[in-house]
Amino acid sequence: MLFLDWGLIDYGEAWERQQAIAARLIARKTATAGEPAEATGAGTVIFCEHPHVYTLGRRGSASNLLVDAGTLAQIGAGYYHVNRGGDITYHGPGQVVCYPVLDLERLHVSLKQYVFGLEETVIRTLRHYGVAGERLAGAPGVWIDARLPAARKICAIGVHASHYVTTHGFALNVNTDLRYYRYIHPCGFTDRGVTSLAAETGTTVDMEDIKRWLQKYFVPLADK
């Protein structure tokens, strides 16, 4: 896999670049049909941050955005309706967004296994910082105290696949300004909270450091 860091990038620009990478990977797959899977490689994993923006998944409810266009302009946030799974979520500075553009056929994993692998990548990374991330049945992503009334989401996951090539990915709250979640029902939930690694540890986390750990723990995904 090729790992890239796009730094702080507008969501729309990142989406266009991501689609272009996926299109090239699909084209190579088509051109090498019948040849060994190794001919196309596994793909590219992208890390980045976005300016304030809300994105709604293809089957999400627009009612989970709680403000109008005027308020979005006042708080300096964009809004996109995209083709990933999941409902509405927030991206912003201090959040690591990961876009793996991968050929699941090459990796020999199903979409369900892939999402499990993304969760595992984040859970292992959080463990390095002394935070216990968990899964919550029926709610993809990574949670803290998942089975308690105080359950709070630290990482959202929403993916899309075409020709077994993935786009979109996960968003891990690191030093995120959680006040921006007040303007949505995060992932469609009204009875669960959100958190960040900084909130859980009580300290600001180095963004470059956590990206290095995410990359380190991403590698076992290929062995599933």
The Cβ-side half-sphere exposure at 209, using a 13 Å CA radius, reads 9
pLDDT at 35 over 70: no
* Tens-digit pLDDT profile for residues 120-146: 999 999 999 999 999 998 889 999 999
Catalytic residue at 187? yes
Task: Please state at what angle helix 111-128 crosses helix 207-218, rounded to 10 degrees.
Answer: 130
Q: What pLDDT band is residue 220 in, cutting at 50, 70 and 90?
A: low
Rounded Cα–Cα distance for residues 37 and 40 (Å): 6
Please tell me the pTM assigned to this model.
Answer: 0.92
Span 93-107, pLDDT tens digits: 999 999 999 999 888
Q: For 152-191, what is each residue's pLDDT tens digit?
A: 999 999 999 999 999 999 999 999 999 999 999 987 777 7
In sequence order, the 6+-apart residues with CB closer than 8 A to the CB of 15 are 80, 82
* H helical segments located in 46-107: 69-74, 104-107
**Other C-beta atoms within 10 Å of 14: how many?**
19
Cα-flanking dihedrals φ and ψ of residue 22, to 5°?
-65, -40
In angstroms, the Cα distances linking 190 to 25, 28, 137, 167, 181 are: 38, 43, 17, 27, 11
37: pLDDT confidence band, cut at 50, 70 and 90? very low
Q: Give the CA count within 13 Å in the CB-facing half-sphere of 66.
A: 13
Question: CA 45, CA 43: separation in Å to the nearest integer?
Answer: 7
Confidence of residue 33 (pLDDT cuts 50, 70, 90): low
Q: What is the DSSP string of 118-163?
A: HHHHHHHHHHHTT---EEETTEEEEEESTTSTT-EEEEEEEEEEET
Q: First and final CA of the chain: distance in angstroms?
A: 15
Structure-token match 């190794």, residue found: 38
Provide, rounded to the nearest whole percent, the portion of the chain with pLDDT above 90: 79
| Residue range 57-74: mean pLDDT, rounded | 93
Task: Report the pLDDT averaged over residues 14-41.
Answer: 78
84: tokens are 């990933």
**Which of 48, 98, 155, 187 is flagged as catalytic?**
187
Residue ranges of domains in the chain, CATH in brackets: 2-223 (3.30.930.10)
